[in-house]
Amino acid sequence: MSNYLILGAGPAGVIAAETLRKVDPSGSVTLIGDEPEAPYSRMALPYMLAENVGESGTHLRHGERHFDKLGIDIRQGRVNALDVGARSVALSDGSSVGYDKLLIATGSHTIRPPIPGMDLAGVENCWTLEDARKIAARAKPGSRVTLMGAGFIGCIVLEALAARNVDLTVIERDDRMLPRMMDNTGGQMIRRWCESKGVRVLVNTAVQGVSKSGEQLVLELAGGESLEADLVVCATGVKPNVDFLENTGIRVEDGIIVDNRLCTSVPNVFAAGDVAQGPDRTTGRQEVHAIQPTASEHGRIAARNMAGVDTPYGGSLSMNVLNTLGLVSSSFGAWDGVSGGSSTNAVDTLGYKYLRLEFEDDYLVGALALGLTQHVGVIRGLMQTRVPLGKWKARLIRDPHQLMSAYLECTQGVIA
Amino acid sequence: MHKALVIDPDKCTSCLQCEMACSFEHEGVFNPAKSRIKIFEFEHGKRSIPYTCTQCAEAWCMHACPVEAITVNLSTGAKEVNPDVCVGCKVCTIACPFGTVNYESDSGKVAKCDLCGGDPQCAEVCPTDAITYVEADWTGYDKMRDSAVRAHS
Ligand SMILES: Cc1cc2nc3c(=O)[nH]c(=O)nc-3n(C[C@H](O)[C@H](O)[C@H](O)COP(=O)(O)OP(=O)(O)OC[C@H]3O[C@@H](n4cnc5c(N)ncnc54)[C@H](O)[C@@H]3O)c2cc1C
Ligand code: SF4
């Protein structure tokens, strides 16, 4: 009987535990997470803040005694150290737990810029359920809220804060919103849209420090302006939770390096989700794709390989979908193009619609879309199955909106 | 084995009865824009293809959902969205490589084919048998690969 240990009870860890139970019904499965909550999805937090769901609506699983019934031993604890020789982990309460196969699914933690005042009460992240509770307590209708960082996570939080009817200002250091998910055209369009909905957006703006004046927080901006706020929400990046791996020999770069079985550089130790730097389906390189679909795929595939069911992974795809105050945008793969590739786009500035496609040889390798909500998934389909586009490539370059027709004809063979 | 919607584009005349029936069944209105099965026309209407979810075995949408809003109906095999649980995050719409889960801004949730609980109305009303509901044993990908090979061989 194998003894499986999983660190981190987020989506990657939970899906791995359930998969292990399925493929190795007799193995023992232990899941250790440090948050004092039922396993939940971070990405559901914005919907709790928007008051679409209550706390339990963020839970990954809803069945009563779900983990008990599956025979998954779920414990609260923080792992401090890993001994790969002895195959055991040390917890902060002094106890230790052994394993035959280990999965590291510890995700990442938020980082704040190194400026004064980032530790003041009222400067919050939006990363954990506890963070969301703190934000909910301060973000009342009419309160002045400043959001630092307009990346993907920042923009999701923006949507949630706006739903709470706060007086919102967004500050981004880069020259546009979503610098890593949108090109200039898309980023500027989203910014105009947000401004038209009453959100103040400051790009090319650095916060130099935050201080307290009575009950108010005061942000000092480069250039001399200062800004008062009741709440500052910080969405300025994350780092993988890998501290406890020091001196284990496990290779870490941007995340834990894993092969196409999700195995780390040390045998019997696997990694999955936000903490893992695994194969990218389109580039073949190892990348961190800190998104829900990757966490779920990693969790499932790592578990199968841990249980000895050899399952190679085709790699994850960098992709995101976002709703900014009603404007839906998505990005896929190499949306910024590849060298020697070709590109096409269609822009409707007034209608807030944009579609950009990137090709390499005969294949679609990246895309950006604004205002597209129907059949978006075919972009993933065309990219991951690497269906040659044939004559459709030229047609798409003339009219990117032929995407669905191209997909149907290339994959379903309606017209020979 | 579960039954599946089997589509024969050669028989489709683009009459849109399926779209009407689908939108009426799910939304209570005859409005093709709200249908979960869609007819796509080629060559200016000379050919058309009805397109909807194949209830693929991989269930990309279901596995990607952060809050377990998509579950399998054990009697039909359909992957069904529970609108009371769905938070409208749209992750399933990009996770599904067939593009058959769509976001509906009116409801703020997603919609996909649920086989009408075992009595799919599109197949029921299709006058030419372009859509039938029969025993079949392919996964979505098998079917997609098969047709891709046919299209390019
Ligand atoms: C506000 C927000 C919105 C998001 N929106 C989207 C979205 O729209 N689409 C999308 O695809 N993704 C989104 N994401 C990202 C998505 O939530 C993550 O990709 C996903 O949670 C990764 O899952 P994971 O299991 O790898 O890590 P996590 O969910 O971070 O889980 C890891 C768990 O391990 C625990 N842990 C860490 N260290 C230790 C230790 N030493 N001992 C024990 N336990 C430990 C952590 O506390 C945590 O509970 C969003 C994230 C946030 C915060
Ligand atoms: S949109 Fe709804 S069904 Fe789809 S992944 Fe999000 S919560 Fe799940």
Which domain CATH number covers A51?
3.50.50.60
> Do residue A321 and residue B93 have CB atoms under 8 angstroms apart?
yes
Instruction: State whether the Cα torsion A283-B64-A396-B10 is positive or negative.
Output: positive
Which atom of ligand 1 approaches the CA of A39 most closely? 49
Gap between the Cα atoms of A366 and A361, Å rounded? 12
Tokens 């998954």 appear where? A72
Q: What pLDDT score does A321 carry?
A: 97
Provide block-wise average pLDDT over 10 residues at a time, chain A (416 residues): 96 98 97 98 97 96 96 98 98 97 98 97 97 97 97 95 96 94 96 96 96 95 94 97 97 98 98 98 92 97 98 96 96 96 97 97 97 95 92 96 93 55
Residue A30 CA to ligand 2 center (angstroms) comes to 28
pLDDT higher than 70, residue B101: yes
**A170 and A83 inside one domain:** no
Interface size, chain A vs chain B, as Cβ–Cβ contacts under 8 Å: 145
Question: Residue A179 falls within a domain, yes or no?
Answer: yes
Residues A247 and A285 in one domain: yes
In this structure, the answer to whether residues A101 and A243 fall within a common structural domain is yes
Total-model pTM: 0.94
Residues A334 and A395 in one domain: yes
The residue of A18, A49, A296 whose CB has the most chain B CBs within 10 angstroms, and thus the best one to mutate to test that interface, is: A296
User: Is residue A316 situated within a structural domain?
Assistant: no
Residues A213 and A280 in one domain: no
What is the tens place of the pLDDT at every residue in B46-73? 889 999 999 999 999 999 999 999 999 9
How confident is the model over A205-263, as pLDDT tens digits?
999 999 999 989 999 999 899 999 999 999 999 999 999 999 999 999 999 999 999 99
- Number of structural domains found in chain A: 3
| pLDDT at residue B147 is higher than 50 | no
pLDDT, residue A415, reads: 40
Q: Are residues A178 and A228 in the same domain?
A: yes
Mean pLDDT across B99-115 = 96
If asked whether residues A224 and A194 sit together in one domain, one would say: yes
Q: Residue A134 falls within a domain, yes or no? A: yes
Which of A177, A200, A234 finishes a domain? A234
* Cα–Cα distance for residue pair B133/A414, rounded to 1 Å: 20
A12 Cα distance to chain centroid: 12
Verify that A230 and A136 share a domain, yes or no: yes
Residue intervals in chain B for CATH 3.30.70.20:
1-52+115-153, 56-112
> ipTM, 2 decimals?
0.94
One domain, residues A243 and A227: no
| pLDDT value of residue B137 | 65
Q: Is B59 in the pocket of ligand 2 (CB under 6 A)?
A: no
| Torsion angle of C-alpha atoms B134, B137, B141, B142, degrees rounded to 10 | -110
CB-side neighbour CA atoms (13 Å) of A119: 2
How many whole angstroms separate alpha carbon A404 and alpha carbon A310? 35
Where does B56-112 sit in CATH, by number?
3.30.70.20
Q: Is residue A363 part of a domain?
A: yes
Q: Name the band, by pLDDT with cuts 50, 70 and 90, for residue B37.
A: very high
Q: Is residue A315 part of a domain?
A: no
Of A251, A272, A306, which residue sits at a domain end? A306
Interchain CB distance below 8 Å, B87 and A57: yes
Angstrom distances, CA of residue A352 to CA of A184, A349, A400, A403, B105? 14, 5, 16, 18, 15
Distances (CA, A) of B129 to A291, A318, A413, B48, B50: 41, 40, 19, 14, 11
A13 within ligand 1 shell (Cβ under 6 A): yes
Q: Touching check for B33 and chain A: CB below 8 Å?
A: no
Q: What is the mean pLDDT of chain B?
A: 89
Please, what CATH class does the domain formed by B1-52+115-153 belong to?
A: alpha beta
pLDDT given at position B136: 72
Backbone torsions φ then ψ of A41, nearest 5 degrees: -105, 120
**How far lies A401's CA from each of A28, A363, A397, in Å?**
51, 16, 9
Could you tell me if the CB of A244 is within 6 A of ligand 1?
yes
For residue A27, how far is the Cα from the chain centroid? 31
Structure tokens at A145: 């809220």
Structure token digits, residue A305: 């390989």
- A117: in domain: no
Domain encompassing residue A277: 3-109+238-306
